[in-house]
Amino acid sequence: MSTARTRIHSPSDIGLVIQQARLARGLSQTTLADQLGLSQRAVSEIESGKPTIYMRKVFDLLRATGVELTAELPVDER
Amino acid sequence: MSTARTRIHSPSDIGLVIQQARLARGLSQTTLADQLGLSQRAVSEIESGKPTIYMRKVFDLLRATGVELTAELPVDER
DNA sequence: TCCAGCTATCCGGATATTGACATATTCGGT
DNA sequence: ACCGAATATGTCAATATCCGGATAGCTGGA
């Protein structure tokens, strides 16, 4: 069990990661959507990178597909 | 110049990171909002973790504040 | 203490997203 | 090539976010 790391810079980037994670788990959009109380349409649109999607849905999907997000903030310690 | 790493699991988490990054750059919500064509209100709500915010706005803020996101997807390579 | 800058929050109307349903299209396996 | 599952996309009414403008509250500095 290794870990694939991907830089995320846009809705499209995160959509692709979510799609990969979903497929890796052998889930259909419909199955996942039903589990989370989302519409199949929403899952499809998120994976395709629609920019006007609510954050909550994205985080729901990340959690359900086991994707971990890390933020890196450059800090200049004086 | 070091790098602070934070696990992101929710809109609140990402809001806090964005706020830290903004403050580290000495910017006000209004200044940042104007730069990005957002309202000061939007920046405030994002930082406070409002879950029904469009993804695009969050990515705009991440870019503007220099925060890097990384996704980690557990993969079982047979 | 006074004041300016910053942030959180209210209202109101315009606009866009939402889910449900339906369906065209694509994809994978046999 | 065929067939069923999966996915992308259309419409539509309902709903919620959006921004502007305004403002109250908070904070730090002079």
User: How far, in Å, is the CA of A41 from the C1' of nucleotide C30?
Assistant: 29
Task: Give pLDDT, residue A21.
Answer: 96
Which has the closest alpha carbon to B22: B59, B53, B58, B66? B66
Put simply, the answer to whether B2 touches A75 (Cβ < 8 Å) is yes
pLDDT in tens, A3-43: 899 999 999 999 999 999 999 999 999 999 999 999 999 99
Distance CA A72, CA A4 (A): 17
pTM across the whole model: 0.92
Work out the end-to-end distance of chain B between its first and last CA atoms, rounded to an integer number of angstroms: 39
Closest Cβ opposite residue A11 in set B50, B52, B55? B55
Q: Kindly state the tokens that stand for B60.
A: 């705009």
